[in-house]
Amino acid sequence: MKKVLIIILTLAAGGAAAQEAPLALKSLVQQSFSHFTQIKAMETQQRIAADQTTLAKAGRLPEINGNASYSHVYPVPKVQLPGSSFTFQPVPSENLSTTIEARQLLLDFGKSGSQIKKSTAQAGLLGVQTDEAREELAYQVANVYLNIAFLQDNIAVQDANIRLLEDTETMVENKLKHGDAIDLDLINTRVKLETYRNKKVDFRNSLQKQLAALEYLTGEPLSDTVDTDFAWAVPPVADDFAHNAAIRTSLEKEKVAGTDIELAKAQYKPSLFLNAGTGFKNGYLPEITTPKFNYYAGVSLSVPIYNGKKLRTQEHMAATEAEIAKLHTQDVKENLRKEAMQHNADIAAGKERLLTAEVLLEQANKALTLAQSRYRNGVITYLDLQNAQTSLLEAQLSKIQYQYQLSLAGLELMHLGGQEFWKQ
């Protein structure tokens, strides 16, 4: 029988010796990062967030605009001087103007700085969310990888038992020729053999589905068999879950909510601007029709006085959002503690079940060997031999199932701890 490779999870109070994940798994994870559409979309959003930060900083830079205008005015004021044919016209009917105007923020008492902080915090949040998405994807790939390992081991067990039943079929046929067995024994053997073959088909069907899922995640088909001869090293998970992706994302959301409060408070503050312009314009006495060079410079101060409680409402909403963000972080921490306790309980129970399964498997192997010998010698019936074969199959499948459950629980603990196994 093909050797069923064991996935061992070791938990120690002071940590576990790290064993690297297979290179094939690491390679698949890296392929998924460059292939998966959601990751590409989030990386594009990060570039947009960087542009938004640049845009916020641009609010501190001067604005320069060029203007050109023409207007015809009618009627225009005219003064007829008494006793003279001279008519005085103070403004032209044809007005021409070309100007370059500049506006520069001098001081806004932290308003632009608050906007820059918010844009930077939002970019940071998106970066952490992208890391979280990568981590989720990596553990999806690892989960599928373990599913494939589980199914391959089950197929190996089915193959071994099919060969065993084929040998039994030959043995029953020989005994039937010598009159030491009945037709029912041979029929039962062949029915059971076909049942095992059908079960193998089911496992292979499930395996193909998992391979399709892996190709969906990574963009490439699995070119080789899965190596299950490795151990997930799972150190104890810290109470604060500092490296957990969900916690880091939640804390970044708190930062963004804090910048919203700061920005809302900054809206009460005044803004001081420098205004300047230069150009050519007609309408200057005494030659009102001739464009002349001109310029101006000055400062303007904008002070919020009354806004219908709009700013106060925005500040209240921002404070409420910040409170919700803190409560969400607390909820995430409590949920992670609960999941860690559950997975630790699964691992403890799984270890005990696996030890029992190993003992049962050893006994089932011995019982089958003894049953085969006694059946050849006519000491036991075919039913006794069939029971021994069934017990061996159940013991083999139980051991694989416990190994699989133990591996999944360990993988989830690694996920809760935020371990980036693909980098180790």
- State residue 421's pLDDT score: 87
**CA–CA separation, 358 vs 389, rounded Å?**
16
For 56-65, which contacts have Cβ atoms below 8 Å and span 24 or more sequence positions?
A: 56/112, 56/115, 56/116, 56/118, 56/119, 57/116, 59/105, 59/112, 59/115, 60/105, 60/112, 62/102, 62/103, 62/104, 63/102, 63/103, 63/104, 64/100, 64/101, 64/102, 65/100, 65/101, 65/102
- State residue 4's pLDDT score: 31
**CA–CA separation, 207 vs 216, rounded Å?**
14
- State residue 220's pLDDT score: 80
Residue 322 lies in a domain: no
Taking only the tens place, the pLDDT of each residue in 27-63 is 899 999 999 999 999 999 999 999 999 999 998 999 9
**CA–CA separation, 138 vs 129, rounded Å?**
14
Residue 162 lies in a domain: yes
DSSP line for 134-192: HHHHHHHHHHHHHHHHHHHHHHHHHHHHHHHHHHHHHHHHHHHHTTSS-HHHHHHHHHH
**CA–CA separation, 25 vs 146, rounded Å?**
10
- State residue 39's pLDDT score: 93
Taking only the tens place, the pLDDT of each residue in 343-377 is 888 888 988 998 999 999 999 999 999 998 998 88
Mean pLDDT (the chain) is 86
Give me the domain span that covers residue 387: 23-60+117-265+328-423
Residue 6 has pLDDT above 60, yes or no: no
Residue 253 lies in a domain: yes
Residue 358 lies in a domain: yes
Residue 352 lies in a domain: yes
Residue 36 belongs to domain with CATH number = 1.20.1600.10
Residue 96 lies in a domain: no
Taking only the tens place, the pLDDT of each residue in 155-168 is 999 999 999 889 88
Taking only the tens place, the pLDDT of each residue in 65-100 is 999 999 999 888 888 877 777 778 888 989 999 999
Residue 18 has pLDDT above 80, yes or no: no
Residue 19 has pLDDT above 70, yes or no: no
Q: Which amino acid is at 271?
A: S
Return the DSSP state at 10.
Answer: B
Taking only the tens place, the pLDDT of each residue in 102-128 is 999 999 998 999 999 999 999 999 999
Residue 5 has pLDDT above 50, yes or no: no
- State residue 189's pLDDT score: 85
Residue 397 lies in a domain: yes
**CA–CA separation, 399 vs 68, rounded Å?**
85
Residue 163 lies in a domain: yes
- In the chain, the number of structural domains is 1
Taking only the tens place, the pLDDT of each residue in 302-352 is 999 888 888 899 999 999 999 999 999 999 999 999 999 998 888 889 889
Confidence of residue 3 (pLDDT cuts 50, 70, 90): very low
**CA–CA separation, 278 vs 297, rounded Å?**
9
Residue 14 has pLDDT above 90, yes or no: no
Across 277-293, average pLDDT: 91
- CA 85 to chain centroid, in Å, comes to 87
Residue 8 has pLDDT above 50, yes or no: no
The residues pairing with 298 across neighbouring beta strands, listed in sequence order, are: 275
